[in-house]
């Protein structure tokens, strides 16, 4: 979907970023008292349809701090559809904490049950393994503009998973 001014949505798949197009030239967080949230960046700490899991601004003066959770409504899994409507609209200089989905959809996580895994897997048929949280629309950006993205911090989960299958992966013949 093209925005009202003909601006395509911008997708960003990072755990945390500062969207800055010329403002806040110091490179510091828009919210110096709390430059990033103190929460674990893990997809689905509970049921995937929890109420109130939506992008919300936190007051921080001239710039806002946004938390964008990875939910079925904010995450594209296995495809990137540039026609998708933005899941978040921000202003230049705003700070966004973006939750991302680990490979495998975060299916191996504390508290996830088999029914939730089946629901996640059935949400998008014939998808690939990669995910993108977004797209995010930067208000005032014009086609051809260069957007400066500052990564304040990347927080890793306290666990990881990996898998392989016969005929797949790095060594498909072994």
| 46-65 pLDDT tens trace | 444 445 555 555 655 678 88
Q: What range defines the domain where residue 76 resides?
A: 1-157
Residue 73 resides in a domain = yes
Number of domains in the chain: 1
Residue 103 resides in a domain = yes
At 140-153, the pLDDT tens digits run 998 899 999 989 88
Phi-psi region of 112 (alpha: psi -120 to 50; beta: other; left: phi over 0): beta
Residue 172 resides in a domain = no
- Across 120-159, b (16+ Cβ under 10 Å) vs e yields beeeeeeeeeebbbbbbbbeebeeeeeeeeeebeebeeee
Residue 171 resides in a domain = no
- Across 73-99, b (16+ Cβ under 10 Å) vs e yields ebbbbeeeeeeeebbbebebbbbbbbb
Sign of CA dihedral 85, 91, 93, 98: negative
Q: What is the DSSP string of 131-156?
A: EEE--EEETT--TT---EEE------
Assess contact for 78 and 59: CB atoms under 8 A. no
At 78-99, the pLDDT tens digits run 777 778 899 999 999 999 999 8
Residue 165 resides in a domain = no
Residue 163 resides in a domain = no
Residue 81 resides in a domain = yes
Residue 174 resides in a domain = no
Q: What is the pTM assigned to this prediction?
A: 0.54
Cα radius of gyration rounded to whole Å, the chain? 17
Cα(72)–Cα(54) distance, integer angstroms: 11
At 106-153, the pLDDT tens digits run 566 667 777 776 776 666 666 666 778 999 999 999 889 999 998 988
* pLDDT of amino acid 30: 37
């Amino acid at each position: 979907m093209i925005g009202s001014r003909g601006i395509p949505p911008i997708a960003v798949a990072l755990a945390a970023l500062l969207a800055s197009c010329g403002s806040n030239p110091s490179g510091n967080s828009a919210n110096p008292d709390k430059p990033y949230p103190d929460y674990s960046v893990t997809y689905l700490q509970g049921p995937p349809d929890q109420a109130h899991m939506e992008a919300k601004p936190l007051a921080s003066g001239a710039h806002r701090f946004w938390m964008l959770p990875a939910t079925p409504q904010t995450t594209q899994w296995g495809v990137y559809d540039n026609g998708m409507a933005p899941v978040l609209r921000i202003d230049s200089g705003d700070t966004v904490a973006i939750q991302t989905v680990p490979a495998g959809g975060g299916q191996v996580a504390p508290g996830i049950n088999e029914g939730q895994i089946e629901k996640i897997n059935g949400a998008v048929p014939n998808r690939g393994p990669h995910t993108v949280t977004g797209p995010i629309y930067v208000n005032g950006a014009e086609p051809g503009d260069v957007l400066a993205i500052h990564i304040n911090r990347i927080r890793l989960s306290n666990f990881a998973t990996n898998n392989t299958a016969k005929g797949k992966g790095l060594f498909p013949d072994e």
